[in-house]
């Protein structure tokens, strides 16, 4: 009687299918983990994921994760089995799809699924431009292929009703079909022994981080309660200081100022040659005529933090985006300071300015106007080609010049009423799509991801050359200060370990980017090569160049301040469990927030751009500087949270 009841319970309706799928998921995880254990590669595999730990710790994580996954999947299956079929099947299909995406993510990236990545960027999925980029990526194509396979097999699974097979065959066909499904989507990928396609993210990474994050939280609390930090926090606005005039007289004319952020632009592209041909001849030409830095770094790995670091002098937040989470904080950004001095401040966005909350942040912090391709002031509708997220660079430059000319003719802009404008390019955004109407590729035929990046960097330089030519022939050529820099770089170099994407790991290829300041007759051309600078150094540098005396909260160092010793550059990687880094040549120090361990590298010309060395290699002064950089991070986050970056009235 009991057996009959259990049989009726588990084999009635759709419960058997749900439980069978759950069992196969867990069995596939067990099979893959046993395979890795047998090949003695599990420890190597997890270390490649940047998940440190001893063999005993990792074994515990695997066992705990496997049972935890089985419990969660089985419970989900049982709960769904009690729901009506029309409700349960879509929910179950959604869970399988999520599992497929997570597994594919791990297979393609060789990295754990980072929930921070979703939390920080989920709002971007509401924009059509985001989906254009996603659908062009190789990972998405891989996912789509698997979804098609699953869809075909599930149709086959249900086809026995249409074909009217004998009654004793349906369960056999169901089991065979599900077995084929899991083999095709999971086991067949075991040729790469580092791929755990169907091992749920809780098995080795998220579970491990969950355990480790408990100790990490206490470690951070311990750091934040140091006497040094407590002493600094006694001052209501500890970052506020006053810039000093470098010269007794102001420039006779206030210059027009243009900030160009080159999207994802790698510093390694400058001076690079392909078959004897320069990749960036126009940027190289401008660099020779500008104040530039050989070792210039972004302070994080995405556009939003790069802009706030450059325009507002702020160290990026390690756990959120300032543009989206702290838009209401009282800051003191360059556009605001320049607007107070008679500048017309305009931000030209090549895409939807609501993306990453750019519209509201820029207007809240000094930009009087934020224009995008849908605005009526973008007059040249003949040039409207789009690439990646937005308007192509050549069209954007053309629109900017047409707008400036129209404003000047209307008397809105003049020598007494100069402009400060900023714009962001798009053609070099991943996945490095080369426009079909452009034939001038440096690398042709089958190419690596790094080759594709070189091609779009060359194209961006070509468009930038057109901008320079247009500027030199315009009425603005005589008195315009031009600042060109990357919002960040992009780790597409072929030798970067793992998946070439900025959200994984942290190397010099993620953050090394060009920077040049061009103002003929006022800024002396020179190349700074003996020390490193970063985006947070740009705001104090511009105040020095313009000889502006004003209170501000900037923590960077002016490029003109050559008397001070080399400073420590803060760098934030909010993903991969969180990495806080500090750079002072030749060292690149990294602290991993997921477990608190530290690493030290020497920046060099090796294929990876850096070589790991013992922590003891750095002097006591340098190690103390690394610790002080960590305190700067924590101070910055506390002041942002408590709205103490800058006081309410200038």
CATH 3.40.720.10, applies to 244-560: yes
Say if residue 178's pLDDT is above 60: no
How many Cα atoms within 13 Å fall on the side-chain side of residue 133?
20
pLDDT of res. 113? 56
Confidence category of residue 142, pLDDT binned at 50, 70, 90: low
Report, as an integer, the average pLDDT of 313-334: 90
Out of 312-321, 380-389, 491-500, pick the least confident. Answer: 491-500
pLDDT single digits (tens) 1-60: 545 544 444 444 455 555 555 555 555 555 544 444 444 334 444 444 333 444 444 454
pLDDT exceeds 70 at position 174: no
Q: Of 63-67, 93-97, 356-360, where does mean pLDDT reach its minimum?
A: 63-67
514 and 287 Cβ atoms separated by less than 8 Å: yes
Q: Note the pLDDT tens digit of each residue in 615-640.
A: 999 999 999 999 899 989 989 988 99
More confident residue, 3 or 524: 524
Residue 133 CA to residue 389 CA, distance in Å, equals: 7
Between 97 and 283, the more confident residue is 283
Of 124-138, 307-321, 405-419, 482-496, least confident by mean pLDDT is: 124-138
pLDDT of 462 over the 70 cut: yes
Q: How far out from the chain centre does Cα 647 lie?
A: 30
Helix, strand counts (H, E) of the chain: 22, 21
Q: Which residues have a Cβ under 8 Å from the Cβ of 341 and sit 6 or more positions away? A: 254, 548
pLDDT of residue 179 exceeding 70, the answer is no
**What's the Cα-to-Cα distance from 504 to each of 111, 216, 490, 520, 575, rounded to whole Å?**
8, 20, 11, 40, 7
Q: Is 621 exposed, middle or buried (0-12, 13-18, 19+ CB in 10 A)?
A: exposed
Where does residue 526 fall: left (phi above 0), alpha (psi -120 to 50 degrees), or beta otherwise? beta
Helices 15-38 and 170-185 cross at an angle (nearest 10°) of: 40
pLDDT digits (tens, 9 = 90+) for 160-172: 443 343 444 445 4
Over range 467-489, report the average pLDDT: 94
Helices of type H across 49-137 = 55-81, 85-109, 115-121, 128-136
- Share of residues in the chain with pLDDT > 70 (%): 61
Mean pLDDT score, 379-392? 76
Q: For residue 292, give the 3-state DSSP assignment.
A: strand
Q: How far apart are CA 126 and CA 634, in angstroms?
A: 32
- What is the reported pLDDT for 563? 81
Q: What pLDDT sits at residue 206?
A: 38
pLDDT of residue 485: 98
Six-digit token string for 2: 């009991």
Classify burial at 82, counting beta carbons within 10 Å of its beta carbon; exposed 0-12, middle 13-18, buried 19 or more: exposed
Please tell me the distance from the alpha carbon of residue 637 to that of residue 229, in angstroms, as a whole number: 12
Q: What is the 3-state secondary structure (H, E, C) of 602-631?
A: EECCCCCCEEEECHHHCCHHHHHHHHHHHH
Task: Give pLDDT tens digits for 251-303.
Answer: 667 999 999 999 999 999 998 888 888 999 999 999 999 999 999 999 999 99
The SS3 assignment for 650 reads coil
What CA–CA distances, in Å, run from 549 to 246, 385, 544?
Answer: 9, 43, 8
The residue with greater pLDDT, 227 or 491, is: 491
pLDDT at 10 (0 to 100)? 46
| Contact yes or no for 377/403 (Cβ under 8 A) | yes
pLDDT of 361: 92
Omega before 40 cis (within 30°)? no
Q: Residue 561 has what pLDDT?
A: 87
Across 229-245, average pLDDT: 86
Of 56-70, 111-125, 396-410, 551-565, which range is least confident? 56-70
Element spanning 346, H or E: strand 344-348
User: Given a cut of 80, is residue 566 above it in pLDDT?
Assistant: yes
**pLDDT at residue 337, as a whole number:** 96
Provide the strand spans (E) within 449-525: 480-486, 515-518
d(CA 255, CA 501): 38
Distance in angstroms (rounded) separating the CA atoms of residues 546 and 525 = 16
Task: Give residue 430's pLDDT band: very low, low, confident or very high (50, 70, 90).
Answer: confident
Helix, strand, or coil here: 387?
A: strand
Q: Which residues pair with 374 in a beta bridge?
A: none
- Give the pLDDT band (50/70/90) at residue 648: confident
Q: Above 60 in pLDDT, residue 221?
A: no
Residue 471's φ and ψ, nearest 5 degrees, are: -65, -45
Three-state secondary-structure class, residue 258 = strand
In this prediction, residue 297 carries a pLDDT of: 97
| Residue 298 to residue 225: CA distance in whole angstroms | 28
Could you tell me if residue 576 is left (phi over 0), alpha (psi between -120 and 50 degrees) or otherwise beta?
left
Task: Among 34-38, 206-210, 347-351, 619-623, name the one with the lowest average pLDDT.
Answer: 206-210
Q: CA 628 to CA 15: how far, in whole Å?
A: 58
Q: Is 317 helix (H, G, I), strand (E, B) or coil?
A: coil
pLDDT at 603 over 80: yes
Beta carbons within 8 Å of 112's beta carbon, 6+ residues apart: 49, 51, 106, 201, 204, 205, 206, 209
User: Phi/psi of residue 32, each to 5°?
Assistant: -65, -45
Cα–Cα distance measured from residue 242 to residue 113, given in angstroms and rounded to the nearest whole number: 44
Which residue, 203, 201, 188, 183, is CA-closest to 24?
183
Contact status, residue 256 vs residue 476, Cβ threshold 8 Å? yes
Tell me, what's the pLDDT at 451?
84
Q: Quote the CA–CA distance of 76 and 334 in Å, as a whole number.
A: 52
H or E segment and range at residue 256: strand 256-262
Q: Report pLDDT for 596.
A: 77
Q: Which long-range contacts (CB under 8 A, 24 or more apart) does 234-239 make?
A: 236/644, 236/647, 237/553, 237/644, 237/645, 237/646, 237/647, 238/635, 238/639, 238/644, 239/553, 239/554, 239/555, 239/635, 239/639, 239/645, 239/646
Residue 459 pLDDT: 93
Q: Dihedral (C-alpha) 628, 53, 36, 66: value to the nearest 10 degrees?
A: -100
Q: For residue 563, what are its two tokens?
A: 């008397």
Residue appearing with tokens 């006022």: 522
d(CA 347, CA 556): 23
Residues of the chain with CATH 3.40.720.10: 244-560
The residue among 501 and 358 whose pLDDT is bigger is 358
pLDDT band at 499 (very low <50, low <70, confident <90, very high): very low
């Amino acid at each position: 009687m009991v057996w009959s009841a259990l049989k009726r319970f588990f084999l009635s309706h759709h419960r058997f299918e749900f439980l069978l799928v759950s069992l196969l998921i867990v069995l596939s995880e067990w099979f893959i983990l046993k395979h890795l254990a047998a090949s003695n590669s599990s420890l190597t595999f997890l270390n490649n994921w940047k998940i440190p730990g001893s063999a005993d710790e990792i074994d515990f994580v695997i066992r705990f994760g496997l049972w935890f996954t089985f419990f969660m999947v089985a419970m989900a299956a049982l709960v769904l089995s009690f729901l009506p079929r029309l409700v349960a099947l879509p929910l179950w299909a959604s869970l399988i799809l999520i599992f497929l995406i997570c597994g594919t993510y791990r297979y393609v990236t060789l990295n754990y699924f980072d929930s921070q990545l979703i939390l920080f960027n989920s709002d971007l999925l509401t924009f059509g431009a985001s989906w254009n980029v996603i659908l062009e990526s190789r990972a998405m194509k891989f996912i789509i292929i698997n979804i098609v396979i699953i869809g075909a097999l599930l149709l086959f699974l249900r086809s026995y009703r249409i074909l009217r097979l004998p009654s004793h065959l349906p369960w056999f066909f169901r089991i065979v079909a599900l077995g084929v499904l899991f083999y095709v989507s999971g086991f067949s990928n075991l040729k790469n022994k580092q791929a755990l396609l169907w091992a749920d993210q809780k098995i080795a990474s998220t579970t491990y981080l969950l355990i480790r994050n408990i100790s990490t939280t206490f470690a951070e609390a311990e750091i934040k309660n140091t006497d040094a930090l407590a002493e600094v926090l006694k001052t209501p606005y500890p970052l506020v200081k006053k810039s000093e005039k470098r010269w007794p007289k102001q420039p006779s004319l206030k210059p027009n100022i243009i900030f160009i952020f080159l999207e994802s632009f790698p510093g390694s592209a400058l001076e690079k040659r392909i078959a004897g041909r320069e990749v960036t001849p126009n940027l190289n030409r401008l660099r020779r005529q500008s104040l530039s830095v050989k070792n210039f770094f972004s302070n994080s790995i995405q556009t939003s933090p790069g802009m706030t670091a450059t325009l507002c002098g702020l160290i990026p937040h390690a756990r959120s985006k300032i543009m989206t989470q702290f838009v209401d904080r009282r800051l003191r950004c360059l556009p605001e300071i320049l607007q107070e001095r008679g500048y017309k401040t305009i931000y030209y966005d090549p895409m939807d300015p609501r993306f990453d909350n750019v519209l509201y942040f820029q207007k809240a912090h000094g930009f009087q106007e934020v224009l995008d391709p849908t605005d009526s002031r973008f007059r040249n509708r003949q040039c409207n080609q789009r690439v990646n997220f937005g308007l192509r660079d050549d069209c954007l430059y053309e629109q900017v010049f047409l707008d400036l000319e129209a404003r000047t003719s209307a008397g809105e802009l003049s020598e007494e009423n100069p402009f400060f404008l900023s714009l962001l390019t798009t053609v070099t955004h991943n996945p490095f799509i080369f426009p079909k109407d452009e034939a001038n590729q440096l690398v042709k035929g089958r190419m690596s991801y790094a080759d594709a990046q070189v091609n779009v960097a060359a194209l961006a330089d070509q468009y930038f050359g057109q901008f320079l030519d247009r500027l030199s022939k315009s009425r603005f050529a005589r008195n315009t200060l031009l600042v060109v820099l990357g919002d960040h770089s992009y780790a597409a170099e072929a030798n970067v370990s793992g998946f070439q994407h900025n959200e994984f790991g942290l190397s010099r290829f993620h953050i090394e980017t060009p920077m040049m300041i061009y103002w003929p007759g006022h800024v002396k051309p020179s190349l700074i090569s003996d020390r490193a600078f970063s985006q947070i150094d740009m705001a104090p540098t511009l105040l020095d160049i313009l000889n502006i005396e004003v209170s501000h909260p900037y923590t960077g160092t002016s490029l003109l301040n050559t008397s001070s010793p080399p400073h420590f550059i803060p760098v934030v990687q909010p993903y991969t469990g969180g990495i806080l880094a500090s750079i002072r040549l030749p060292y690149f120090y990294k602290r991993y927030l997921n477990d608190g361990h530290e690493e030290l590298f020497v920046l060099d010309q090796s294929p990876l751009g850096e070589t790991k060395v013992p922590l003891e290699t750095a002097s006591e002064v340098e190690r103390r500087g690394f610790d002080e950089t960590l305190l700067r991070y924590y101070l910055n986050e506390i002041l942002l949270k408590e709205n103490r970056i800058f006081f309410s009235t200038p």
